Each structure stands twice: as C-alpha cells, then as structure tokens.
Structure 1
Amino acid sequence: MTQLSELVAAVADGSIEVIDLTAPLQASTPILHLPEPFANTIPFSLEQISAYDDSGPGWYWNNIHTGEHVGTHVDAPNHWATGKDKGDITSAPVSRLIGPAVVLDVSDRVADNPDFLLEKDDVLAWQDQHGPLPENGWLLFRTGWDERSADSDRFLNVDDTGSHTPGVSVECAQWLAHETSLFGFGVETVGTDAGVAAGFDPMFPCHHFFLGAGKFGLTQLQNLAQLPPTGAVVVVAPLPIVGGSGSPARVLAMVQR
C-alpha cells in the first residue's frame, strides 16, 4: 500500500480518528465587539436564493454574509499593522496548512481565573515534560473556553471593566513568535489575545508579534480536550481570499488511536 492509501485505510478503520475542531457557523456564532469609534465585523447570516420554489423549483441555495474573522477562522499576517507587508491569507504555504500540532492545557487554571495569561515559563515547563514545540507546526492553547461557545454572553465575558478571557502575556507572545519555529498559534477564544490585551504594551501582543513575524493565528477552536499533548496532525483549510486578512476555516485533527 502507498502511504496515502494506508492513511485512508486507517481513517476508515478508526485507527486514526478525525476530530472536528471547528465551531458551527451560524447567526448565533459569537463575534468580537470593538468599542466605539472602531468599526465591527458583521455576524454570519444566510440569505435564501431559492428553496424548491418559483425562484428555483429543483434546488436550494443561499448567499452568505459574513466577515473574514467570524467563527473558527485564520488570521493572516496582513490582518495587523506589524504584518501588513508579510502576506494575505493566500500566502500561507499549503504544505504548512497540514502539520503537527501540540496542545498546552491550562483549563484547570482558567476555571477560577478568566484573565489567566500564559507565561514563557509555562511553555518551558510543558517542553520539559513533552519535548520541543513542533517545527513549522501549531501550538494549540486549551483553556476550556469552548464550553462557553453556545452562549455569546458567557463566551465574550464582558462586564463594566471590559472583556475577561484568557490569553498570553507580552513576554510569552514575543518569545513564541520570534524564538520558536512555530507556524501558528491556535486558541478557543474569540481572538488569539486575552480580553484585557488592549491595555498591554504593545496592545494585543499575539497579533502584534505573531502576525508581524509572518506567522498565522487560529481562533474559536473546539474539542481540544480530545487531542493528546503531542502527536496530532491538523488540517487548516481557510478560503483563498485574494487580498484577504483572514478567512473562516474548517479545522480537522487526526489522532492515532
């Protein structure tokens, strides 16, 4: 058998499990809300063209209305000022959209602290236990936040002092972006940065450093609890929107059982 036929056979017999990491894309999918005077993305919606009726007696189809950064989506380098000359969503090498992924799980620490920040020492401790981060791969940051995804208010977690969602410290974001060979960084929250990251210096450091380094972000993932710390392979499939700063994506993981 060829390697590809072995892969197909392994998926068919269940020895390789395919896990969907993608949030359902629908009108209730939570979206980021920026404060005034900044402009915001539109939520996802369907506009019916026909449904077996006079407009199309034998077929059903829709127009879709959405932003690039809605639901499970990829951030391209040009999404941020620091990466404006580093490439749009079509610049991602397709060979890197299938690659190794590791999961760093801090869900036990986030449960009582929604403002939890991942620090460099946390990643170094993880590496001491599990080995190095994957070259040209993805670091997936599990916080347990996907449990909130069906309720937009709980997911965005905004109060009078602002948004409270877990993220990454400035030092850690800079180190991951510039001192590791990662291709991208993925999270379960609405964006790759913490809810309080507007107050950091620089603000939104994951965007600032990762995208500025020509790397990619991946947001609103689900089911990371089903992945092992190491050994998974992810397939990240954004739309090739020419000039786009990002795209909704289907994200699948393959795990050997």
Structure 2
Amino acid sequence: MRTIALVAGGLVMAGLGAGIVLAVSPKQLKQPTLAEAYQTIKSKQFVDLTHAFEPGIPHWKGFPDEKRETLYWYEPNVGKLGAGFWAEMFCHAGQWGTHVDPPAHFIKGLRTVDKLDLKEMILPLVVIDVHQKVAQNPDYTITMEDIKAWEAKHGLIPEGAFVAMRTDWSKRWPNAAAMQNKDSNGVAHYPGWSMEVLKYLYETRKITASGHEPTDTDPGIATSKDDYSLETYILKQNRYQIELLTNLDKVPEAGAVVVVSFPKPKNGSGFPARVFAILP
C-alpha cells in the first residue's frame, strides 16, 4: 500500500513496508497540455452573454439606427456581379448592441479597439448580484456594501478579473422604452455603478475590465443630464468596458471564466462584441 501527500512544498510518496520515499518538487509536477486543458474546457457549460443586434434595438440617444442592405442574394441578379451567395452591408455606430468601449472612446490618445491585448480577453468572471435591490429601486447604484458582501462570501476579487454587475435589466430587452424607463419629465431611471466602487475595483483590486446590462455605466438620472463621469473614469484608467450584457442570471457569482471577443478595426472607437462565460 502506498500513501501520497504534499509535505513542505513537495510531493512525498511512501511505499509502506518497502521503505520507499520519493520527494518531488512542485516544479516537477506535470502541467496539463493545451489539448488536455481544451478537453476540460469543452466539457463545461457555455453561456452567451451577448444580445443579437439588429435595426431598432436600444441604443444611446445620439446614435442613428442601424441600416442593412442586401448586396447579393442566392439567385442571380441582373446587373450585379456574382451569384449563388448572400452578402449584406451593415451600417451602425461602433457602440451598437453588446459592445466594447476601449479607452480611446472617451480619452484621446489612449488605446483603441485594435490595441487591446489578447490576454485581456480571457479573464476570471466576477458577478456582483444586485438585481433584487434594483427591482425595488430602478435608480440603484452599486455600493461598497455589495462588494464587501461578495468578498466575504467568495474571497477577495482577483486581480485582473472582469467584474459584471447583475441587475436583470437585460430582461427588458429589446424594448427601448422599458430600457430607458423615463418618467413624465423625460428623466431616465435605470441602475448604474458608483465612483466609490469603481475606484476600489480598478485601483485597489486592479481589475482588467467591467460590464453591465443597461445602456450606460452611469445611472439614468445622471445620463439624462449628460453626466458620463463614471464611464469617463473607467476609460481614463486605460481599461475597457462592455455594455448591454445579458444572461448574467445564468452564471455563478464566482468561479467562471469570461471570453470577450470583438473585431479589430484599426484605430477603432468601439465595436459590437461577442461575450460568453465558461462555467466551472
């Protein structure tokens, strides 16, 4: 009979009765190959955190609606080159649907979409769930009490994480009026972040990125006054954010990995993104 144990930073295997003792340094422990890691990853559940976009979806008030044109269809068209395939032209703002906001979106001279590093696109996912508080108060902004409650339950928010705020606001999609939730005076009422929390996350916990379900980082009562100070703060840190996430109710608060992908327009100010979580 053999016993195996970790002792003083190494692996010790003792063969009882045979007098065999083998010490192995942690550096000698076999790391999984990429193929083995892939087999583990593909066995997990994947959750899409992205809305499909189309003309008419909720968007920032200053942007025009999306336009699409069919350039080629499967059947031949007189006067057009080619036949037998379908091709469309899409015309929309970079900040369209679930999208990435790079630092240069607000801060001249900082990184554009194409300058975001590949290692910033696969991150530990932290979900701060405040949806019940938002149900009671649509103007709710996340507090340090919410963050401390998460850390008391799961440990410190890891450096380099992607922190998403779950509000369940995405359940109003694609109803633009419901997303804006304006009162009789035209003031929007939807949840947002708070400066205290963002400073803690980006400066103390040193997270890589953050995301949310509403159209804006700042709450509706602020954006109704064209106050985007919270989004400005994030992008000024030379970090990116994702807006209009969905399905955060289908992922755990801790333990998942998020993959954030998007096209690479040269010197791009933003672009629709495809975001998904891999569950533990």
Could you say whether these structures have the same fold, taking a TM-score greater than 0.5 normalized by the shorter chain as the test?
yes
3-state SS of paired residue (1:68): coil
Q: How has the CA–CA distance of structure 1 residues 44 and 8 changed in structure 2, closer, same or farther, with 3 Å as cutoff?
A: farther
Q: Distance in 2 between matches of 1:65 and 1:209?
A: 29
Please say if residues 51 and 97 of structure 2, whose CA atoms lie closer than 8 Å, have aligned partners that are also in contact: yes
2:83 aligns with 57
**Deviation of residue 25 (structure 1)?**
1.0
Bigger proportion of residues as strand: 1
Larger Rg: 2
Please say if residues 174 and 205 of structure 1, whose CA atoms lie closer than 8 Å, have aligned partners that are also in contact: no
Q: Distance in 1 between matches of 2:113 and 2:257?
A: 21
Please say if residues 100 and 241 of structure 2, whose CA atoms lie closer than 8 Å, have aligned partners that are also in contact: yes
Q: Distance in 2 between matches of 1:242 and 1:23?
A: 24
Q: Distance in 1 between matches of 2:156 and 2:228?
A: 26
**Deviation of residue 241 (structure 1)?**
1.6
**Deviation of residue 170 (structure 1)?**
2.8
Query: Paired residue for 1:135, among 141, 159, 178?
Result: 159
**Deviation of residue 64 (structure 1)?**
0.6
Supply the RMSD in Å over aligned alpha carbons. 2.0
Correspondence list, 1:39-188, <5 A: 40-52=62-74, 53-54=76-77, 55=80, 56-80=82-106, 83-159=107-183, 160-188=185-213
3-state SS of paired residue (1:121): helix
2:14 aligns with none
Please say if residues 45 and 64 of structure 1, whose CA atoms lie closer than 8 Å, have aligned partners that are also in contact: yes
Q: Deviations over 1:97-151 (max 9, x none)?
A: 1111110001111112110011123212221121111211200100011100121
Whichever residue aligns with residue 39 of structure 2, its letter is A
Q: Distance in 2 between matches of 1:28 and 1:10?
A: 39
| Deviation larger for 169-178 or 108-117 | 169-178
Whichever residue aligns with residue 59 of structure 2, its letter is I
| Deviation larger for 67-76 or 169-178 | 169-178
Size of the aligned set, in residue pairs, is 245
2:11 aligns with none
**Deviation of residue 221 (structure 1)?**
0.7
1:206 aligns with 230
3-state SS of paired residue (1:95): helix
Percent identity between matched residues is: 30
Structure 1 unmatched ranges of 5 or more: 34-39
Q: TM-score, normalised to structure 1's length?
A: 0.88
Correspondence list, 1:189-228, <5 A: 189-198=214-223, 203-228=227-252
Whichever residue aligns with residue 50 of structure 2, its letter is T
1:255 aligns with 279
Please say if residues 96 and 137 of structure 1, whose CA atoms lie closer than 8 Å, have aligned partners that are also in contact: no
Structure 2 unmatched ranges of 5 or more: 1-30
